Structure 1
């Protein structure tokens, strides 16, 4: 009995410490954060949904760079495509192109010290982002920079769901083919991507390049109206809530992890009560423990009110998108989950161009054709201990 009481006391102390660490860490992260009013821009935008096609284009544009390359990824791995990517950066640095590479510390943990030393020997400016630090070690371990941003010569930008690793080019047997949405942007919006990269670079390196006009060349006006909206663990819930509440006829949500906050779940239920059609697309297979089970209680409530829920069958669905009516389409790095809403640094592109939205809807139609509709009866049968466990850690999922 004494041993059991001791173990219980230790577990209680650990739980209290983690809770206090998380609370104080989040409070510190939110200090000084202010809502940013993102300007409307006009750029030419293309969408990529397949890794091999994206990286063929991406690597080609990197090789054409003449002045600078600025890249932020959540994940870069120690595999063949990662090495190819890093070798391109080394080659460009050897040519005299300024290269800055910012990688999330936990997401890119496979990057070895000798790899970083090699990058620096070639003149690449390198830094990790969001390295866990005391005193709030547990919280800073959770708070990730989940953004994926590339800017080439201040004129070409990329943003979306793809990282660098073999799974993203369909070489992981469990997760292939990988389905994702990534944008290539040429035009005014690239300046906003540049600004956010340089803000993150300043935070991590204490080097302020924001006033350097060399990184902000004159940009032409494109055809597609959009906004680049960053978030840092705050205000994203407000943005998503506003999108849901403006819907008149239909809402589509595509996400690998559907773990809404209580507010967003209630917003969706209220939208259904107004007669709004709600369609949700999630993957059948999972790349993280318990994320599927964490979605079940919310999906059941929405299914009870008439939502259509589809599970993507042919590979892994990792896209992050929201489409409201035919009026606004969100594509970016933020998942429809608590971690993106309340912890991570994210960046999204909100597009207001109907022809482009129709192009995305055609992609989604194809994805739904490779999916199976999920029934309420089937989802009720999936109740198990994993779902109970998932509820306990939902704020971290």
Structure 2
């Protein structure tokens, strides 16, 4: 009887995840070109200082969505600011991923609501596809202030992202501050996600004030468990000289791996920056078979030493760049909700290339000798990590 129950339970999980994956394959992604003005952040102190300053200056609306909001010193600094603005009459909406932000205490949520902040979880567990809903995550990070200033990128809200967690030390991430018409698109995406949890939400004209166009044009790529891999492959296929990839997790699957190998074989210099230590079980071991193949083909793998590397960036020929929330892994390609920004602005590309160069200087080159010197325990974990890679 117990055996039959176990079989039934495993079948239920498998069917649930199969139906969820089939549903995601039908999801539509969007790619829209819009004018923008851009500012780039790679340092947590700079990013948080700028974001808090903009929140403090808000007069009408604050709409904030993060995958992770910690209930710690850094998180509460932001929560205090949001409560202060809500109490002064500013409309404040906060959307946090149900699993990513599970550490927020009920008392903290109650405090936010009592001071006028409207708080909701995104991607809550639900039936009938319980395991699918537990696995699907809203990984987007979007903040829109007064409909005029927008943020998107890799930073979450918490001590580690401010470099205040001794486990990780300095935290390296890439984030964008945006102005111009692109902010309207960020606002629309926020309310699309917000409305899934709050069906009665209404889009008011005040959320979309007239904006100057911006000095450049960007493409916002919004996905829900689909089409990230295809865009990455398309960009890499266009490379003629250099490809720089920055990601905390490298578990690309066969299609993207083949695309990168093809680029190397046609003479393109490919450099990848990864963290030297992982913040997730099994992630490094799942990546090593891919990295071994890349190193043998001539790719340079740089492991960041100066803290934890969490940036997500793809720079092609110093001519086009993709920065956003999507990692180079199966979860970002097939499960998560993501948002990325693709642009060709020369001054911004120069700044990002200089940042990447500094990050490489603060990294250690991974070679075959170090890969072969992994412990027996790590080698045994490898095959299991590869099997689990879609869920890591």
TM-score (norm 1): 0.94
Residue 230 of structure 1 aligns with which residue?
Answer: 222
What is the aligned-residue RMSD (CA, Å)?
A: 1.6
Matched-pair contact (CA < 8 Å) for 2:24–2:334 = no
* CA deviation string 1:209-247 (max 9, x = no partner): 34x221111111222321111110011111111111111
Shift of 1:28: 2.9
TM-fit CA distance, 1:380: 3.2
> Can you list the C-alpha shifts for 1:337-368, whole angstroms capped at 9, x where unaligned?
00011100010111111221111010011001
- Which of the residues 367, 382, 385 maps onto 1:387? 382
CA contact (8 A) 1:68 1:154 kept: yes
Question: In 2, are the aligned partners of 1:103 and 1:127 still within 8 Å (CA)?
Answer: yes
Take 1:208 and 1:86, find their aligned partners in 2: how far apart are those partners? 22
Q: Matched residue of 1:26: which SS? A: helix
Aligned equivalent of 1:117: 110
- CA offsets, 1:109-165, max 9 Å, x none? 011222222211212111100001122211211110011100000100111111111
Residue 27 of structure 1: how far off its partner (Å) = 2.2
- CA distance, structure 1, for counterparts of residue 322 and residue 197 of structure 2: 28
Aligned twin of 2:123: 130
**What is the deviation of 1:298?**
0.7
SS of aligned partner of 1:179 = strand
SS of 2:219's equivalent in the other structure is strand
Aligned pairs for 1:180-191 within 5 A = 180-191=173-184
Structure 2 match to 1:74: 67
Counterpart for residue 77 of structure 2: 84
- Kindly tell me: are residues 285 and 67 of structure 1, through their superposed partners in 2, closer, same or farther at Cα, counting changes over 3 Å? same
Provide Cα deviations, 1:71-122, integer angstroms capped at 9, x if missing partner.
0011111111111111111111111110000010111101122222221121
Among 18, 25, 37, which residue is 2:20 paired with?
25
Shift of 1:37: 3.5
Alignment partners' CA distance in 1, 2:358 and 2:134: 37
List runs of 5+ in structure 1 lacking aligned partners. Answer: 1-5
2:52 paired residue among 29, 50, 59: 59
Q: SS at 1:393's partner residue?
A: helix
Aligned pair count?
389
Q: Summarize the Cα distance change of 1:217–1:27 in structure 2 as closer, same or farther, 3 Å threshold.
A: same
CA contact (8 A) 1:201 1:207 kept: no
Q: Which residue of 1 aligns with 2:32?
A: 38
Task: Report the counterpart of residue 108 of structure 1 in structure 2.
Answer: 101
Q: Which runs of 5+ in 2 are unaligned?
A: none
CA 1:308–1:8: 2 relative to 1, 3 Å: farther
1:381 is displaced (CA, Å) by: 3.2
142-151 or 6-15, which deviates more: 6-15
Structure-1 residue corresponding to 2:298: 306
User: Of 137, 155, 158, which residue of structure 1 is paired with 2:148?
Assistant: 155
1:176 to 1:8, Cα distance in 2 relative to 1, 3 A: farther
Answering whether residue 270 of structure 2 is matched by residue 278 of structure 1, we say yes
Q: Does 1:176 align with 2:174?
A: no
